[in-house]
């Protein structure tokens, strides 16, 4: 990789460093605090990502595409949507873990609609979140927020899948090793 591409790829980190370094020199206490927070965040990420990638590698190697595609693929209908919601809502860990999981799901034949629903469920419908909301804000708020989130996630998954053209879907899915994606034009709610 040439230097120009490397600099472009790391430009956000380099700009952050260029801003933080002089500020750390001008305000040493704030610089020490920022450096400590950076260390904590890096340690957290390094503690989470390797086990996740190991599990994803095992999932990718051990579970054949023939087991995933019928349950989460284009023809899965309402059953696939329910499974995508349950997988996302039952997840644990930060949102940045959901994206490698979504990539493996796409490689295994999951439909774009179900992957969008999975990501939305992971980000807004996790079980610990609803339990916290019910405990601290009451049943009415917790359940109404959960219901509104579910409706919004289903609508976004459906509309995103619906408005992506056939060419765009093919281009997206080909990035994950699927040259001839098994989808019909438009979504299939059954």
pLDDT > 50? residue 19: yes
Task: Compute the mean pLDDT over every residue in the chain, rounded to the nearest whole number.
Answer: 84
Mean pLDDT value across residues 155-171: 87
Output the CA–CA distances (angstroms, integers) from residue 129 to 36, 119, 138, 153, in the order listed.
28, 15, 13, 16
Torsion sign, CA atoms 136, 138, 140, 142: positive
Instruction: Work out the pLDDT band at 136, boundaries 50, 70, 90.
Output: very high
pLDDT at position 180 is 47
Q: Which residues of 49-72 are buried (b: 16+ CB within 10 A; e: fewer)?
A: eeebeeeeeeeeeeeeeeebbebb
| Cα–Cα dist 111/117, whole Å | 10
pLDDT > 60? residue 179: no
pLDDT at position 181 is 46
* pTM of the full structure: 0.74
pLDDT at position 67 is 81
126 phi, psi to nearest 5 deg:
-65, 145
Domain residue ranges in the chain:
1-52, 63-190
What Rg value do the Cα atoms of the chain yield, rounded? 21
pLDDT at position 37 is 86
**Residue 63 near residue 108 (C-beta atoms within 8 A):** yes
**Residue 79 near residue 111 (C-beta atoms within 8 A):** no
**At which residue do the structure tokens 């179900």 appear?**
114
pLDDT > 80? residue 183: no
- 3-state secondary structure at position 90: coil
pLDDT at position 182 is 47
């Amino acid at each position: 990789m040439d230097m120009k591409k490397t600099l472009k790829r790391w430009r956000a980190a380099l700009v952050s460093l260029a801003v933080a370094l002089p500020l750390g020199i001008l305000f040493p206490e704030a610089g020490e605090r920022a450096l400590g927070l950076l260390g904590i965040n890096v340690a957290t990420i390094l503690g989470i990502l390797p086990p996740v990638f190991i599990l994803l590698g095992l999932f990718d190697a051990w579970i054949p595409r023939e087991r995933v595609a019928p349950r989460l693929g284009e023809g899965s209908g309402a059953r696939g949507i329910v499974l995508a919601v349950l997988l996302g809502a039952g997840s644990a860990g930060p949102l940045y873990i959901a994206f490698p999981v979504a990539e493996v799901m796409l490689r295994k034949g999951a439909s774009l609609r179900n992957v969008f629903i999975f990501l939305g469920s992971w980000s807004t419908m996790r079980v610990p979140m609803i339990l916290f909301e019910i405990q601290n804000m009451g049943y009415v708020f917790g359940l109404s927020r959960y219901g509104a989130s579910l409706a919004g996630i289903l609508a976004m998954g459906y509309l995103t899948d619906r408005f992506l053209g056939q060419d765009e879907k093919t281009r997206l899915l080909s990035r994950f090793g699927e040259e001839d994606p098994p989808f019909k034009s438009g979504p299939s709610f059954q």
